[in-house]
Amino acid sequence: MGGKSSHSNLVLATCILASSLAFVDSSVTNVALSAIGQSLKAGGGDLQWVINAYLLPLSALLLLGGAAGDRYGRVRLLVGGTGLFAIASLLCAVAPSLELLLAGRGLQGIGAAILMPNSLAILGASFSGAARGRAIGIWASIGAVMSAIGPVLGGWLIDVVSWRAIFLINLPLAAGAIVLALIAVKDSRERGRPALDMSGAALATTALGVLTWSLTIGSGPAGWGPLALGGAAASVMAMLGFVWVEKRRGERAMMPLGMFGSSSFIGLTLLTLMLYGALGALMVLIPYVLIQASGYTGTQAGSALVPAAIILALGSPGMGRLAGRIGARLPLTIGPLVVACGFLLQLRMGANVNYWRDVFPAIVVISIGMAGAVAPLTNAVLGAVDERHTGSASGFNSAIARSGGLIATALLGSVLGAQGESLLSGFHMAAMACAIACIAASAAAFFLIAASERSE
């Protein structure tokens, strides 16, 4: 299948199991927000941090996780990150207070930042050409299925047992990924790689952390006062410092600026930020609004997004193969436009929602658009750099995707803290903003990705 591994199917299974930890955990936690809020007496701002305590270290450290795998060995980092994720999940399950739950969520984010880029880097290095497109399509489709099973099972556990039980789902997945990685995957590393870029990692973490904090305050009751605006300005300064450090380090940087030498890579980056930001808002808001505004149970709310997983599972493999033949530009232009139409359909949602009439059509349209974009996007990113930088490139793209979700969640404070008509009004405004972001993502693909771009 790519000629680089004698256990291609087991390699693919390893990458799927490891990545599924992050996919399942984020989707399950979204369904649990209402129950966590009631159990731990958490308000709208606190609920934002249940999501962002995970997304913040994940976004900030993905680049470092990918670069560390390139230097010290991808299997070693995959196993270590997966083990940390399992331990953190156990901490979340037994956390007696909001503070300890947030600490566990932060540790989960660190573990995911280590395992995710190395999982994708192993996948990219083990397959090539059309086989890589097919493997990434299968990875995306099964990841979608796992993301769908998680909320349904998680919603049932919330209703029958407790929200704490949802974190225990991660333990068998982690065990399977570790065993398969040790048995089936041959480790690889770049022995000549320079020392890790700790100063760059510190600046990136600071920039994202302060930005998340300021956006959370600005979107809450306090509004955009001096504190929030000062935080935003400090975040910009830290990000400029990060770019300066990366430029000085050149190829030794965890985010080599040479990756931005082509307009295609810039277009892929902008598209990822906007499309996944919109998707992140959807994954948080749909279950929350269904539970809070329409009285859905956790199981019902968790099941609401199942059609999305089915459509992604059916569509992603074919789109991965198609992108390998025709290039990424066309599917990445059309896909986000279809997603935008789905977000506009969400404007029909009101109180006492009828799922099949008001929710299902929007979910179907959004899912069709995402199926057209997910596999081509991942394949294009892995094909845009040489093999030495696959860890850095996959880590950077995953970081941008999670940063989009991080920023979107930080902006949802006024929606998560609202009730009744105010909740629905805020939801409609968020849906409009997501539609605009998806249109901008489509424009980035059309104008910046080269028409002749192919997966190598």
Report pLDDT digits (tens) over 305-332. 888 878 877 887 777 777 767 777 888 9
Full domain range(s) for residue 221:
197-253
- What is the distance between the alpha carbons of residues 339 and 276, in angstroms, rounded to a whole number? 11
Look up residue 412 and give its two tokens: 């949802």
- Is 373 found in the same domain as 319? yes
Q: What are phi and psi of 203, to 5 degrees?
A: -70, -40
Asked whether residue 173 is domain-assigned, the answer is yes
- Is 259 found in the same domain as 249? no
Q: Give the model's pLDDT for residue 7.
A: 65
Q: What are phi and psi of 194, to 5 degrees?
A: -70, 175
- Is 156 found in the same domain as 87? yes
pLDDT one-digit tens code per residue, 21-64: 877 777 788 788 888 888 888 777 778 788 888 877 887 787 77
Asked whether residue 453 is domain-assigned, the answer is no
Asked whether residue 3 is domain-assigned, the answer is no
CB 79 within 8 A of CB 178: yes
- Is 275 found in the same domain as 208? no
- Is 239 found in the same domain as 150? no
Asked whether residue 177 is domain-assigned, the answer is yes
- What is the distance between the alpha carbons of residues 452 and 456, in angstroms, rounded to a whole number? 12
- What is the per-residue DSSP string for 174-202? HHHHHHHHHHH------TTPPPP-HHHHH
Asked whether residue 1 is domain-assigned, the answer is no
Q: Give the model's pLDDT for residue 126.
A: 77
Q: What is the sign of the dihedral through the CA atoms of 178, 61, 282 and 274?
A: negative
- Is 367 found in the same domain as 264? yes
Asked whether residue 140 is domain-assigned, the answer is yes
CATH number at residue 360: 1.20.1250.20
Predicted model pTM: 0.75
Domain end: 223, 253, 283, which one?
253
Ranges of residues in the chain whose predicted pLDDT is under 70: 1-7, 128-130, 133, 140-141, 143-145, 147-148, 187-194, 262, 324, 382-395, 451-456
- Is 337 found in the same domain as 213? no
- What is the distance between the alpha carbons of residues 397 and 272, in angstroms, rounded to a whole number? 7
Asked whether residue 125 is domain-assigned, the answer is yes
**CA Rg value for the chain:** 20
- Is 206 found in the same domain as 127? no
- Number of structural domains (the chain) is 2
Task: Work out the angle between the directed axes of helices 98-126 and 374-383 (0-180°, nearest 10).
Answer: 60
- Is 401 found in the same domain as 267? yes
Q: What is the sign of the dihedral through the CA atoms of 37, 39, 42 and 48?
A: negative
Q: Give the model's pLDDT for residue 246.
A: 86
Domain end: 226, 253, 280, which one?
253
- Is 394 found in the same domain as 292? yes
- Is 219 found in the same domain as 81? no
Asked whether residue 21 is domain-assigned, the answer is yes
Give the up-direction half-sphere exposure of residue 224: CA atoms within 13 A in the CB hemisphere. Answer: 6
- Is 178 found in the same domain as 87? yes
